[in-house]
C-alpha cells in the first residue's frame, strides 16, 4: 500500500518479477490475492519451484481461485491459458481449515493430475480429515519424479511401505 503521503507503493507483481531476476532456487509468495498470481504461474511454468498461500474454503476452491486470479492481471490473459498452466505446474494443494475452537489444522491435501476434463482440473485426494485427524486417501500424485528431484521420498510421505500401490513405483 501507499504511504500516508500517497507514495511508495511497491506492488507484489513487481516484487515477484524482481525476485526472479535474482535467480532464486525457489519462490515463496505469502499471499496471492490478485494479478500477481499470473507472475507466479509464469515463473512456475518455466520450472521455478514455488509455493504460495491464498484464501479459499477448500482445496478445490483454492485451485478454482488460482485459475481465476491471473485474469485480474489486466492483460489479455485467456482462461484457456490459465487452467492448463495451473494443471501442469501445481503439484499439491494443502488446505488449512479453522476448527470450531479457532485452531488451524490441515483439512485436506489434494494432488493435481495435470488433466483437464470439461474445463476442470482433475484432482486426487491424498489426505482428508476423517474427524479424527488426517487420513490417507487413495489418490496419488501424477509426477513422483518431481518429489524425488526435490529430495523427498514420496512413499514415505504418503505412508506407503513399498510405493508400488496403484501402479506407481518409487
For 131-142, the pLDDT digits (tens) are: 888 899 999 898
CATH code, domain carrying 63: 3.40.50.300
Give how many domains the chain has, as a whole number.
Answer: 1
116 is a domain residue: yes
- pLDDT value, residue 1: 58
169 is a domain residue: no
- Asked whether the predicted pLDDT for residue 94 surpasses 90, the reply is yes
Other residues' Cβ atoms within 10 Å of the Cβ of residue 71: 17
How far is the first Cα of the chain from the last one, in angstroms, to the nearest whole number?
Answer: 46
Residue 168 CB-half CA count within 13 A? 18
42 is a domain residue: yes
Average pLDDT over residues 129-157: 88
Average pLDDT over residues 103-123: 94
- pLDDT value, residue 170: 31
In the numeric block, which cell numbers belong to residue 88?
501442469
The whole-chain average pLDDT of the chain stands at 87
Inter-CA distances, 142 with 5, 13, 24, 87, 154, Å: 50, 30, 26, 11, 11
| Residue 36: domain span | 12-161
- pLDDT value, residue 162: 53
Q: What is the pTM of this model?
A: 0.84
2 is a domain residue: no
61 is a domain residue: yes
Predicted confidence (pLDDT) per residue in 51-85, tens digit: 999 999 999 999 999 999 999 887 788 878 899 99
167 is a domain residue: no
Percentage of the residues of the chain whose pLDDT score is greater than 90: 54
- pLDDT value, residue 168: 37
- Contact in structure between 70 and 41 (CB atoms under 8 Å): yes
- Contact in structure between 79 and 42 (CB atoms under 8 Å): no
Q: Is 161 exposed, middle or buried (0-12, 13-18, 19+ CB in 10 A)?
A: exposed
- pLDDT value, residue 161: 63
- pLDDT value, residue 2: 66
Amino acid at each position: 500500500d501507499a504511504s500516508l503521503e500517497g507514495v511508495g507503493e511497491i506492488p507484489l507483481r513487481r516484487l515477484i518479477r524482481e525476485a526472479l531476476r535474482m535467480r532464486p532456487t525457489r519462490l515463496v509468495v505469502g499471499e496471492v490475492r490478485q494479478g500477481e498470481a499470473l507472475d507466479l504461474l509464469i515463473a512456475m511454468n518455466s520450472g521455478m519451484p514455488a509455493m504460495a498461500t491464498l484464501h479459499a474454503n477448500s482445496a478445490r476452491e483454492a485451485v478454482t481461485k488460482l485459475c481465476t486470479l491471473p485474469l485480474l492481471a489486466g492483460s489479455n490473459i485467456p482462461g484457456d491459458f490459465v487452467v492448463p498452466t495451473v494443471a501442469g505446474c501445481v503439484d499439491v494443494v494443502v488446505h488449512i481449515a479453522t476448527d470450531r475452537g479457532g485452531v488451524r489444522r490441515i483439512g485436506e491435501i489434494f494432488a493435481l493430475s495435470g488433466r483437464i476434463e470439461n474445463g476442470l482440473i482433475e484432482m486426487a485426494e491424498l489426505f482428508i480429515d476423517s474427524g479424527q485427524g488426517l487420513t490417507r486417501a487413495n489418490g496419488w500424485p501424477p509426477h513422483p519424479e518431481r518429489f524425488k528431484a526435490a529430495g523427498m521420498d514420496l512413499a514415505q510421505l504418503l505412508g506407503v511401505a513399498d510405493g508400488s500401490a496403484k501402479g506407481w513405483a518409487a
